[in-house]
Structure 1
């Protein structure tokens, strides 16, 4: 496995899907690569938590 460059579906920015992250995804049984960059994933998770009434 080698690092992959992916494009975020939200912001369009390129991000690196590292070899270590790929191994983690495989270990967890995830079949799809991430669609969002780390910043957009964090923002989406925060928005979800805010809509659910959680505070983090």
Structure 2
């Protein structure tokens, strides 16, 4: 296994999906790789949280 470079769906920036993250995803049973960079993931999560208020 090796680090993978992925282009973010939202901002089109390249980010690295590290071996450690890949192992974490596999451990949690996630089948899909992330489609957003960590910054966009955080922003999306915060937006969902704000919408619940």
TM-score (norm 1): 0.92
1:24 aligns with 24
Secondary structure class of the residue paired with 2:11? coil
Secondary structure class of the residue paired with 2:15? strand
Give per-residue Cα distances to partners, 1:2-56, cap 9 Å, x unaligned. Answer: 0000000000000000000000000111100000000000000000000001xxx
> Any runs of at least 4 consecutive aligned residues in structure 1 with deviations exceeding 2 A, and if so which?
none
1:4 aligns with 4
Instruction: Please tell me the root mean square deviation across aligned C-alpha atoms, in Å.
Output: 0.4
Rg larger for:
1
Please give the alpha-carbon distance, in whole angstroms, between the structure 2 residues aligned to 1:11 and 1:44.
12
Gaps of 5+ in 1: none
Gaps of 5+ in 2: none
Please give the alpha-carbon distance, in whole angstroms, between the structure 2 residues aligned to 1:50 and 1:28.
26
